[in-house]
Amino acid sequence: MYAYGWTGDATPDDAALYEVSEIGVVALRSVHDTRYQFGSIYNAIYPASGTSIDWSYSAGVVHTYTLELRDTGSNGFLLPATEIVPTGQETWTGLVAAIMAI
């Protein structure tokens, strides 16, 4: 996910942020078929003010992103040990693809 979290308004760089996110998510999905949502924080999950992503973006860092773990609501941020390696595998693949796209 990327800026903004505090408003539903798109950033001036929304198209580029969306494109890089999509590339990363498609690559991530290719590993274990895990489906991630992406877009601005505000639109992908919920309004969230005061995020480091918004701060970084406002400071001039265009490509600032945040990831959340693969849980679908049952474990929250405390994934079982069996989820650690698959999460790392798919996240790494997604990050490499996104970095190469940038």
H or E segment to which residue 58 belongs: helix 52-58
pLDDT band of residue 11 (cuts 50, 70, 90) is very high
In the three-class reduction of DSSP (H, G, I as helix; E, B as strand; rest coil), residue 71 is classed as: coil
Note the pLDDT of residue 68. 84
68 part of the active site: yes
What is the structure's pLDDT at 77? 76
Q: Give the DSSP letter string of 12-27.
A: TTHHHHHHHHHHHHHH
Contact 2, 17 (CB under 8 A): yes
Average pLDDT for 17-30: 97
Q: Is 76 left (phi over 0), alpha (psi -120 to 50) or beta?
A: left
Model confidence pLDDT, tens digit, residues 46-97: 999 999 999 999 999 999 999 887 777 777 778 889 989 999 999 999 999 9
User: Helix, strand, or coil here: 2?
Assistant: strand
Please compute the mean of the pLDDT values over residues 25-39 and round it to a whole number.
95
Which residue in 22, 68, 83, 90 is the catalytic one?
A: 68
